[in-house]
Amino acid sequence: MSGDGGTMPGGEVRAGGRAGHDAAESRAGATTPDGPAAAHAARPAGADGHADPGPDRAQYGLAAVLAVVGVWTVVDSAGLGPGFADQAVQPGAFGWVIGVALVVLAALLAVATARGNRPEAESGEDVDLDQSTDWRTLAGLAGVLVATVALIDWLGWAIVGALLFAGAATVLGSRHWVRNLLIGAVLSVGSWYGFYVGLGIPIPAGVLDGIL
């Protein structure tokens, strides 16, 4: 039998000698530039082993759009005339709130983007990518919107709003026409009174002028 790194009779290598040799190789690999520590330090910054792509510029574009819309909403709200004398909430109040909220959201999105945050796709999103665009549905919705814009001054919001809701629901697949019209009428008349009485903002009454 030889020393710690030798062999025993029969040619068997002693366990102590092999363990010491492995430990020496590990220490050498950790201290030399070509060792595992250097290889780990040279890995890319990305968690998946790829280079960090940097901030998402599309999010900066969205933040800019939100900021522009928010500023425009605030400026436009400032130009609204005063409401009724006994009206606690003036017509421009909601515009100010919405505009300021949009500007704040734009700033938060820009800061999050600069920090490297990226949106993640929803794992449970129910979208069939193999299906083509349903142009018939899109054309139907576009037709309903065009008809709304063309008829609102004549028929008024109370009627056109009901037709807008019923038409959109029908295009999207609902076949309960009477129920759609009833729900649309409740929403349109309620929103008409909400704007006219609650906010002091007159919207077209159309043929129902003097009745509502």
Q: How many CB atoms lie within 10 A of CB 8?
A: 10
Provide the domain count of the chain: 2
Angle between helices 177-193 and 157-171 (to 10 degrees): 140
The whole-angstrom separation of Cα 93 and Cα 78 is 9
What tens digit of pLDDT does each residue of 147-170 get?
999 999 899 999 999 999 999 999
DSSP-derived 3-state class of residue 94: helix
**Integer Cα distance of 193 and 203 in angstroms:** 9
- How high is the pLDDT of residue 1? 47
Average pLDDT for the chain: 75
Residue 100 domain-assigned?
A: yes
Do residues 107 and 141 share a domain?
Answer: no
What's the token pair of residue 79? 């130009």
The model's confidence at residue 198, banded by pLDDT at 50, 70 and 90, is confident
Among 115, 145, 164, give the residue marking a domain's end: 115
Is 52 a domain residue? no
Query: 175 near 202, Cβ under 8 Å?
Result: no
Quick one: pLDDT at residue 89? 64
Q: pTM score, two decimals?
A: 0.47
pLDDT tens digit sequence for 85-124: 555 666 677 888 899 999 999 999 999 888 877 766 555 5
**The pLDDT of residue 22:** 53
Which one is predicted more confidently, 41 or 86? 86
Cross-strand pairs, 13: 7
Instruction: Give residue 160's domain range.
Output: 136-208
47 located within any domain: no
Residue 31 pLDDT class (50, 70, 90 cuts): very low
The three-point CA angle 197-201-202 to 5° equals: 90
Per-position DSSP letters for 79-136, written without gaps between them: TSPP--TT-SS-THHHHHHHHHHHHHHHHHHHHHHHTT------TT----TTSPP-HH
Examine residue 40 and state whether it is found in any structural domain, yes or no. no
**Does pLDDT of 73 surpass 50?**
yes
